[in-house]
Chains A and B, each alone.
Chain A
Amino acid sequence: MSYFAAQVLNGLCLGSIYSLIALGFALVYSILRFLNFAHSEVFTSGAFAGYFTLLALGPHFGPWTRFAVATVVAALAAGSLAVLIERVAYRPLRHMPPVTVLLTAIGVSITLQNIGRIAFSPQTRGYPTLDLPLAPRQVGLAVLAGSFVLLWWLIYRLPAGIRIRAVAENLETARLMGIEPGRVIVLVFFLGGTFAGVAGVVWGLVYGTVQPEMGFLPGLKAFIIAVVGSVGDLRGTLVVGMALGIIEALAAGFLPSSLSALREVIVLSLLLLALMARPNGLFGSSTPVKV
């Protein structure tokens, strides 16, 4: 494979991880109109759940079994954490001004990071190596692609998905049509959480390490992707996420080594420019809306 193609593949993998996390942000925003900052920690919790599951299963089980079980456990653990956060931190503030909820979200994020540091020690841990016949990147991409397909099917083909889209469009009207917004909200948090958990396991598999603060930078980028992709627009989130991943990988691969430290700057500057040009994101209307 040519060097360029290899970097594009890296970028697709990275972009998919970012997009999957960003979709969690986007889903919650579309229903509740606020950005769940604690989502980065949900991602981290998925990675750790996957780590402990892989350790617990040990080499006696086949590598595919271990990976599959770890992914499912991570998805469920992360989804459950997301639901718990909603119940404990956000539900009591349902009718408060957005600023209050935003601050709460940041507080939850910091709390969870520090709980992680205390409970699991701040040291980096290595993901157990799995003897899979395919390269980790290929497995990762397959899992991520499968997740997108699953998510699309859930949102656009299942009745639950119709309910989500209805509440996203107009909560009051949906309520009048007989949909219980409370249950939809829980579902949305759970869904976003499960996919962030899957992204966490794929991260561990592809990059090999996990530590309690690992969610910060990917979460930040996913948050920015969600905003630039016009939060609430799932298509937009996907496109911007992939683009960001590819740009980051190409910047890492082709910048001269003296400038390689600039790649984060380049990526984030591009996002900044996009937001300055279209404050509602690339796929939204051009009138700014305050979050």
Chain B
Amino acid sequence: MRLIHNLTIFMLLTALGNAMLGCAPEAPGATGKHTLVIGSVLSKSGPAAAYGNDADRGARLALKELRAQADLPFEIRYISYDDRSDKTEAAKVARALIDADGVNAILGPAISPSALSVGKLAQERRIPVVATSATQDEVTASTTYDRTYVFRVCFNDSYQGKVLAQFARQDLGIRRVAVIYDNSLSYSIGLARTFREQFEARGGVVAYEENFSVTDSDFSALIDKVAAFPVDALFIAGWDENVGPMLKQAQNRWDNFILLGADGWVTHRLLELAGGNTGTSFALSHFINDDPSPRVQALNRAYEAEYGELPTAFSVLGYDAMRLIVDAARRAPTFDGPALRDALAATSDLDLVTGHLRFDSHRNPQKDAVVVKVEPDHFAFYKRIRL
């Protein structure tokens, strides 16, 4: 009994001692050094897993390079959560990051539905958000609100719709198009709408609109129906996990169409799921591997050395987002929300892999878009467009 009594006291004291040690300030050393806490909300599982996982890898590579820099005046702590491609889960983990982990900034989300819910929360709590590939217009601002704390490193859907419509009309000479979109994704609905407006404004005709759902696995009815349409091209606004199987199941029934896709197409996963059946397809990307710029080539090498595969557009957006946040943290007087946000908004001379970054009045970057040709086993550079 005495032994147990003593043992208990000993364990309690040890626990207390450990707790006190944990309260000690981090980063011993130079005065003024403190820790930048970055949390990420990325879709690492679920239908949008390709976008989130790539972004996370890109962000971690950037983090590794940044930490290796000798002149970094602070430490960086990076916490990564999976939102499972679900906006409710995204809001839940964002809340955990802000309240429990005390993050200074949020990297991600990678998809628009999550970015909408996380952005709303972050705006209320005044924590800056840098979304990686959430392209829907309403992520940063809409007709009813302006989320001053939400930034993104990718172009937005109104820009995408414009670029694609122009490319289709002027470069490919397409006149009649059928739009196929995912009626369960706000990203897809918005993009389809923007494309239709822009395409018709340039004299084209959107003759048909068909839809599917992100949970669908059988596209045979859709494929048969669309195969009979008298159009030149199909614009398919969806995520890679649906478009890939759709292309594979289409076999040769869509061979007489030109297929147009948006940024959601450009992942390894789409090529894998399409099984080589990519037809004559073009898609829009934030980035392309065979861009000859030295910055892109250096990133290709570093990423491949680290992960054994080439980066995708989504990896690079994660990479750029991390660099952007840390650059802003260097310039900000403190790490609290409003200061960091202002530093982000003031970004002006930053050269990122995806281009020279300049934000517009709604915190969307003004940058180039790259049209890529979708080959069976890779994406090939086709044309760079800047509007």
A residues sitting closer than 8 Å to B (CB atoms) are: 3, 6-7, 10, 14, 117, 121-129, 135, 137, 206-209, 214, 217, 249, 252-253, 257-258, 260-261
Q: A124–B49 Cα gap in the complex (Å)?
A: 9
Contact of B211 (CB < 8 Å), options: A208, A209, A260 = A260
**How near does chain A come to B265, taking the closest CB pair, in angstroms?**
15
10 A-B contact pairs sorted by A residue (CB < 8 Å): A7-B220, A10-B218, A122-B45, A206-B249, A208-B275, A209-B245, A209-B273, A252-B222, A257-B209, A260-B212
5 further A-B pairs in the complex, CB-CB below 8 A; given A253-B221, A260-B210: A117-B45, A125-B272, A129-B248, A249-B220, A252-B218
A7 touches B245 (CB 8 A): no
Q: A134–B249 Cα gap in the complex (Å)?
A: 13
Scan B229-259; emit 1 where CB is below 8 A from any A CB, else 0: 0000000000001001100110100000000
Q: A6–B228 Cα gap in the complex (Å)?
A: 13
B5 within 8 A of A: no
Contact of B272 (CB < 8 Å), options: A3, A10, A126 = A126
B276 within 8 A of A: yes
Contact of A207 (CB < 8 Å), options: B50, B213, B217, B224 = B217
B47 within 8 A of A: yes
A253 touches B225 (CB 8 A): yes
**How near does chain A come to B221, taking the closest CB pair, in angstroms?**
4
- A126/B244 contact (C-beta < 8 A), A257-B211, A260-B211, A261-B213 known: yes
Residues of chain B within 8 A (CB-CB) of A117 are: 45
B residues sitting closer than 8 Å to A (CB atoms) are: 45-47, 49-50, 183-184, 209-213, 215, 217-218, 220-222, 224-225, 228, 241, 244-245, 248-249, 251, 269, 272-277
Contact of A123 (CB < 8 Å), options: B49, B184, B210 = B49
**How near does chain A come to B87, taking the closest CB pair, in angstroms?**
17
**How near does chain B come to A59, taking the closest CB pair, in angstroms?**
12
A122 touches B46 (CB 8 A): yes
Contact of B273 (CB < 8 Å), options: A208, A253, A258 = A208
A3 touches B224 (CB 8 A): yes
**How near does chain A come to B381, taking the closest CB pair, in angstroms?**
25
Residues of chain B within 8 A (CB-CB) of A125 are: 272
